[in-house]
Amino acid sequence: MGDSGVSKGAAKERALSAEEEHIAGQLENAPCVEGWGLTSYAGVEEEARVTNRTADGVYVAVTHPYAYSTETVEADVGSDARYLVTEDAVERVGGTEVSPC
């Protein structure tokens, strides 16, 4: 395995994209959510930074904004997650839970 084929920029882009998919999957399937989006109106900014390179791959810490509304709540928040990026896969290895209900 190894990280030889994964550049810093590619690892960050792939981790951010994976977090977008993770958030979207959680919010789309939440029965209490009436509306949602992958932006912040309160200033949470999208960010990715490489935290480590190992024989297993590239570890990337990401922050991704999102907003959602339910019958009783309007939330504008961000998720923090850690990803392991390899040539073949992107795996979420930790992070905040995205569960509005």
Answer yes or no: is 101 within a domain: no
Q: What is the CATH number for 88?
A: 3.10.450
Per-residue pLDDT reduced to its tens digit, 23-71: 999 999 899 999 999 998 888 899 999 999 999 999 999 999 999 999 9
Answer yes or no: is 2 within a domain: no
Q: Could you give the residue ranges of the DSSP H alpha helices within the chain?
A: 8-28
pLDDT the model gives residue 4:
58
Domain count, the chain: 1
Answer yes or no: is 1 within a domain: no
Does the pLDDT at position 3 exceed 90? no
% of the chain surpassing 70 pLDDT: 96
CA angle (31, 84, 24) in 5-degree steps: 20
CB 78 within 8 A of CB 97: no
Length of the chain equals: 101
Q: For the chain, how long is the longest CA-to-CA vector?
A: 48
CA atoms of 35 and 26, how far apart (whole Å):
12
Q: Which domain holds residue 69?
A: 8-95
Answer yes or no: is 65 within a domain: yes
Summary mean pLDDT of the chain:
92
